[in-house]
A = this chain, B = another copy of it.
Amino acid sequence: ESEFFEGRELEILALGRSIGTGEKEITAEVIEVKNFDELKERQKEVKGKIVFFSRPHDMGTVNTFQGYGDAVNQRSQGAIEAAKFGAVGVLIRSVTTKHDNVPHTGSMNNYVDSLPEIPAASLGFLDADFLSDALKKDSILKLKMKLNCKTLPDILSYNVIADYKGTEKSDEIIVVAGHFDSWDAGCGAHDDGGGCIQAFEVLDLFKRLSIKPKRTIRCIFYINEENGVKGGIEYGNYADTTREKHIAAIESDRGVFTPVGFAVTSDSLTLIKLQNWLPILEYAGIEWIKAGGSGVDISQIKNTQALIGFVPDDQRYFDLHHSANDVFEEVHPREMELGAAAIAVMAFLLSEEL
């Protein structure tokens, strides 16, 4: 409802775990803020309004995961922070690197018992620009917000696991993994269908090339990474109690673009050992092996020697991530295959040499 912008529709997508708006929409004025500090400063203006968190992914950061990390708290925590000051809803500028109007979703943190639950959605990048400009012209415009989402009770589901049995130490396990849930705006081709294919391709490559590793190579497609990591946690519990020994795990969950490196969580001696394999891994396009975070699913495995994240080129990942852009056509076959080869070589070295 606005003198100037009556009837204009905006592209939005509910955030994961948001409540819906129920039978009737929310109609409210909008307050635009960049971050939680500004929200706090202007807390007296918030009551009864929709808070619009408009901070963009900083395009000046070279590493897009850093730009994502710097902006994403408005998605994960925005609805909780805004509820503290009486907001009735939240919109966030999609955390994306692409100049289009496709909203990007993702999980928000659980609502806090002591605060009202308010609905939250992401807004297409171009429509976020539009709304920001519109508010400059008409600061008391009212927005109608309608979300029909709801969170259903959990149901039983499963991780999918395939073993390629080791010849000498079959109860010693090297995990290769992706997760096969996704945000269903797209089909999750990069996040994380392609990662699952790469994990599975490790077994297929060994089979086709008649490679017989000493240790067992275990491919895991984890369920429910996106909305609670329940598959990862469940497998982590299993790994704690089985008589099997988990030597190492590799996860591909940063898109399936051209391979760049491996990020390793381990003690420093193990890291150095892995770094000594770099001349071999360079044949599959790997430029570096560094200390760093692995992947959220495999990080639930404790008592293991190395947790390893496969790191591809990241320039295009947040064009697609958690949106309708994340489709099969955006996967480049050579780039995906090259990553599968890199992971296969790493898995073999872990099996034979660690």
Contact = CB atoms under 8 A, between A and B. Distances in A.
A315 B287 contact: no
Contacts of A258: 258, 313, 315
B316 A283 contact: no
A284 interface: yes
A287 B284 contact: no
Nearest to A316: B332
A334 B59 contact: yes
A62 B333 CA distance: 13
Given A97-B334, A334-B97, A62 B315 contact: no
Q: What interface size band does chain A fall in?
A: 20 to 34
B287 A338 contact: no
Contacts of A288: 287
Number of copies: 2
Contact of A338 (B99, B260, B315, B333): B315
Contact of A62 (B62, B64, B284, B332): B284
A285 B334 CA distance: 21
Interface of A: 59, 62, 64, 97, 99, 258, 260, 283-285, 287-288, 313, 315-316, 332-335, 338
Given A258-B313, A315-B334, A316-B335, 11 more contacts: A59-B334, A62-B283, A62-B284, A62-B338, A64-B334, A287-B287, A287-B288, A313-B313, A315-B332, A315-B335, A316-B334
